[in-house]
Chain A
Amino acid sequence: MLQAQNLTVAIGGKVVCRDLSVTIRRGECWGVLGQNGAGKTTLLRALAGLHLPQAGEVSWDGRPLQATVRRELARHLGVLPQNEGGEFWGSVLEYVLLGRFPHRAPWFGYSAGDERIARQALTQMELVELAHRSLNTLSGGERQRAAIAQVLAQQAQCYLLDEPLQHLDLRHQGQAMREFGKIREEGGALLVVLHDILWAQRCCDRVLLQFADGRVLHGAANELLTREHLEELFQCPLREMGSAGEGCFVPGV
């Protein structure tokens, strides 16, 4: 589906990923881990075609992203940015409906079908009661759930999600990860930037470790999520709790 070939990405003169070749296939869930400032967001933006790489290219079904019409791409590729940085004055439902934008005609409004899909996404993120509230009155966590609902309403085949679990309480973190799991079971693919190693261990079959020096390691989650790799990745000593291989990592304080 989504393929990066010899991708080198830089921002502000700093190389955040060097010579990366990776293919995201149907039914895969990728976790992206790395320190603050390692360039996870920039890499994700490059994979989404929103940041021009220094070298190499990203393609969707064999076609380079730069040569694909954005509108067509948006029907297959859903992107959740970390910060939207916009103002939206409308209701939660109107906000989630925007996820249907690539599927509707460029003129006129949204169809009843679009609204049904948006309401279904609201149900998935437990926001039905807030559907007619103004988006500006929501709490940080509720707003994040609305953003996830919007990207779910896009009904894409592949999702690039930048810290989807930020601001979410434990229950809604689990809820979101369950919904992502369903996408995977239905043959979709995901690449998710995470800070919690636990979710990467539980829900991702592949991981991509992005080191501060621009090196990127990727492969099967159970092979790469070892104490040695993670201590180097986060540059801090970690303790493994629980039985080896199934344990969880906590920082040694």
Chain B
Amino acid sequence: MAEMIKLFVNGVEVEVESGKNLIDALKVVGIEIPHFCYHPALGADGNCRMCLVGIEDGRPPLVPACKTPVAPGMKVQLDTGKIKKIQQDMMEFQLINHPIDCPVCDQAGECTLQDYYMTYDAQDSRMTVPVVSKGKKMDFGCGVVHDQERCVLCARCVRFTRLITKTGELGIVNRSDEARVTTFPGRPLNNRYALNVVDLCPVGAMTSQDFRFKQRAWFLTRDKGICHGCSKGCNIFIDHNREKYKDDIIYRFRPRLNEQVNGYFICDEGRLSYHAENEGRLLAARVDGKDCSVDHAVQAARKALGPKILMLVSPECSIEEMIAIKALADAVGTKLSGYSDGYIKAGDGDGWLIQDDKSANRAGLAKLGIDATKETFNGALNSSDAVISFNNDLFIHDTGSEFRQKLEKMKVIAVSTHNNTLTQNAAIAIPVASYSESSGSVINKDGILQHFGRAVQKNTPLADMTQIAGMLGSPIVTESDIASEMKKVLPSLTEVIPEGGLKLTESEAAHVPA
């Protein structure tokens, strides 16, 4: 915990953390200092001049808040006529050459320029001379589209490629009001985090090819989620909307700040993984190639359950789902495997956010003592005559003919969120809700336990996997049963999982199943 110091804002004493700049320190106590160029992940640049504040008896008396560390006894002026005039003037300068095309701009509704105009400017235009024209809808690569006229030259995107990805594709060329952000000729954006510049851009200058013109920002419901693209468990916002006469679908993922996990950013692959929540889903239950009700499919599956059935769980499943499935395996008296080598893309990770392991909860498997080795799996497979898979697509692990022949002789039951090779080859297929449509907890590769809530509400909701497990005969399916079971395996978990996640203790994280 940092040291607390006292200073004055508009004559009122406030207590803030030392070591921070004025923008960050005062934000914590609910005082906003407007700014475009400053971003906590990118540091202070000081070019937008929007955060100029007065310091009574200060030398100099006018300073950029982003570059000014808090000091005890400092007398900060934000509400003087002089400061308000400066804020209005800076907004006027930002807007004189801006196209003001909000009606067709994707940023409208979540645009700093719009918000600040209403708060700090609100005057009519005095611009009676021609505006500067610059480049429009420029393809910057990686699905980033740039509009130079909307740009406020805050250089956040430029600094992102220089300081964060260290790829440096972006730069500002030219001087004066001809200055503009651009790429070098023939060298477009080429990094796996490029779409973060869209979030970083405080205005509509950077838009995502994937999202633009799909949805107005104010129609979107923003729910908190955890990305299931890999074992990092990046925190995201799931922005979704149910349009009239249509179903609730996801329009985009955006990064959500979690200093402990992903900071301010997510990778492009994870960001675009929302498509898989909308598309390619298994929606109807099937028995022997014929669509049927979920109840009917579950009854058919129940008949197949017995000691000779191999249960397979996916490292994508939440802890709660794994607990219910494990209890089911115990009740049925059969083996449970978490074999899932196919989820690992060796060498794909980059040591930052992107991981080799493309599953969200492999650590959860280990925590519950579910064996995931190929040897045990193969042994179990040989001694079984049926397989029930919980969202684990066996065919991505091993598609050799020997394996296929083995499976063909077995009765295959697939409980799945998506249509895939396994569901196509399964005698019984049962659809379940995916992670954006259900709630649960996952443990990331660093041993951080995180909870996510239900975001999307489909018109016809699919059953949760725990529910299906219960229908199949699992004794642990109620929320309270699962919660008490979770506390048993995770001693660190005494209360609810805190926002930002719970770092499990060393021994818990390193726990290896017997």
Question: Do A and B actually bind?
Answer: no
